[in-house]
Structure 1
Amino acid sequence: MDIRTEIIAVGSELLLGQIVNTNAQFLSKELAEIGLNVYYHTVVGDNPARLESALKIAKERSNIIIFTGGLGPTKDDLTKETISKTLGKTLVFDIDALESIQSYFAQTKRTMSENNKKQALVIEGSTILKNDNGMAPGMALEVDQIIYMLLPGPPSEMRPMFQNYGKEYFQKRLGMQEKIVSRVLRYFGIGESQLETDIQDLIDGQTNPTIAPLATEGEVTLRLTAKHIDEKIAQELLDEVEKKINARVGEFFYGFNETTLMNELKAQLLNKKKTVAAAESLTGGMFSELITSLNGASRIFNGSIISYTNEVKIQSLQVKEDTLKTYGAVSEQCAKEMAEQVRKLLNSDIGISFTGAAGPEPHEGQPVGTVFIGIASEEQSNVYALNLAGSRKGIRTRTVKYGCHYLVKLLNEIE
């Protein structure tokens, strides 16, 4: 069977640009992992006639149609009403969903309106997808060899519903015997084009597992996906491809799946029983905000000094005035002193500093994107010079990531 999947997101707020259609992105990734390719993304407003039109087009080109949104209690939530009418089906109450809604209103001592009761309506003959995080259940049914799945719009409801129940529905309904296993490899310090060039023959020769490159903000990820009836063998297939890839670009590899450079830094600091302190100029506290967002940050992070002006660098960080007069704030010498001083002042094992010209104008005659990152330990001090391109926000974000990258490399060298 040639399976062609289409996702139809329902909601005028999507067309008005008030929210981003992250549901379609999420579903496309999840569906790819179980071997279902998405051919079309459609967005339609809260209008029955236009939804009917979108559904008519989808029926002509797709045999799996997934809807998100329009299952709520308000007057413009018309997805299931419109689809049931188009398919010649009636709406019936799902008793479990209705009891769950009634129980919620009883517990919160609120009066349940008819609108709320409407959320328990489902298309007759549907397989019900339980909503563990909200009121409106999802549903799936097949009519004339087309599978329809209706999911709620809020991501906090839709995502767990699809992962816990929607995926299983497709796997059972389509008789998918093979286990599909994915693994994400994360790289930093190498561009997407260079990484692809280095492993191009592996990408060209991919069959099972498949290799899918994806660039994110200053990083590159590779999603490896293997299929096999035996999950253990699928994992072994992934191991084999991962080994081949990292034999070529392993120096840039830093972690798996949903980890981040900051998470890896935290793990290394905990493992080596080290603390870090930061002196931030162009990053303005971004490094500190990210590290303190992690649970248990107090065990690895002693604090920071945001020294955005030269006066603060001199008064609070005790950077020498001569250093700033002779070399400027955007310099290797300033970055080195900032890192050394913050380490001492905040009694940390390691000090890191960020100084540079983030833009949009040059700073002290230094071009936009000129960045210096200082890292000081009791044994040594190093400064890393970067020339970054992009927006002010992008330069600052990548500067912090480079800082994490260099810290992780330093910690890897510590016995």
Structure 2
Amino acid sequence: MAVERVLSGMRPTGNLHLGHYHGVLKNWLRLQHEHECFFFVADWHALTTHYDTPEIIEESVWEMVIDWLAAGVDPANATIFIQSRVPEHAELFTLLSMITPLGWLERVPTYKDQQEKLAQKDLSTYGFLGYPLLQSADILIYKATQVPVGEDQIPHIEFTREIARRFNHIYGREVGFEEKAKAAIKKLGSKRGGLYEELRTRYQESGDDEALESARAMIEEQQGLSMGDKERLLGYLEGGGKMILLEPEHKLTPASKMPGLDGQKMSKSYNNTISLRESPDVVAKKIKTMPTDPARVRRTDPGNPEKCPVWQLHEIYSDEKIQSWVQEGCRTAGIGCIECKQPVIESVLEELKPIQERAAQYAEDPTLVKNIVAEGCERARKQARETMREVRDAMGLNYS
């Protein structure tokens, strides 16, 4: 099977909170043990909306990396890097912009959504219009096969696939491509070569997706083939030219079920967050002052947990026994709201304790954090340079 490579990034625009932990980081922790992972600090992306407050980005970059490491992202299992430290992203973005129709950018759904949401900012900039293309460059430069995204980001991955397809269509016209592809088939040997031809025919004549997947897997398994021959066989399989840029798949991230302190989604813009490095006293105070069921004006008034934001936290943090105790105690006024909140406080603090201990160790050793990132940037840059060499070759830019 082909190596599955995952790419994901976050914008450094402030402290990470429990919403980030449950919505993104827990997913990363799982993926780093299943696939090759590249996780990056999207500082250029942050500039598309925070261009006038660069100091927020600067402060947040290292703090965010510390939060990732404290949460359990392991530099031995994942490549951690900063986008702006790999300038090849910008080069690929520039080259892709030469072939990207303006209408494709204007129809990305988040373009108008974000402009409406951030109406107080002037987002009529080239950088903001082009940020989906920069995102495409981030993905394509690492030949990522999977990109974990929420539902609202799926159009961005579709856009990236279209860009890869367009690039391969325009620049994958290698001179003598068909002859080179047929020569590569012979290198497979008569048995595998025959199977390749059969699978190619099944896919091209009847659109058999299973045949396509089987042929792709067979090509990737071949140890003796050069990368160029593999790309020719993949391109010939689909009836196109040489595949230079890989079309990624989206990997749908389960929606974060982490509610904020007011019952809405946890978000800095709602001012309802618990940060990963918030002190235990502050966490306890925030939960103690959470709103509860409005029907419980007095301690003796019965309530309904379904109407209380605290219950949403019990659903995440409490076992069945405590949940039954809450349901019974709230509906009969057998327990007060402060009592009800105590198990949540204990569970949140228990979850945060190891994260905060690790964060303190990394915060005390900034050189270690910078070394981890420097190594990650070097690894990322090695792959990015390789892709850019192929892109420049295809576009005729490697002048000798």
The TM-score bracket by the shorter chain reads: under 0.3
TM-score, normalised by the number of residues in structure 2: 0.27
Q: For the pair shown, which has the larger CA radius of gyration, 1 or 2?
A: 1
Give the helix-richer structure, 1 or 2.
Answer: 2
Which one has the bigger strand percentage?
A: 1
Larger RCO (CA within 8 A; separation ≥ 6): 2
- TM-score (normalised: structure 1): 0.26
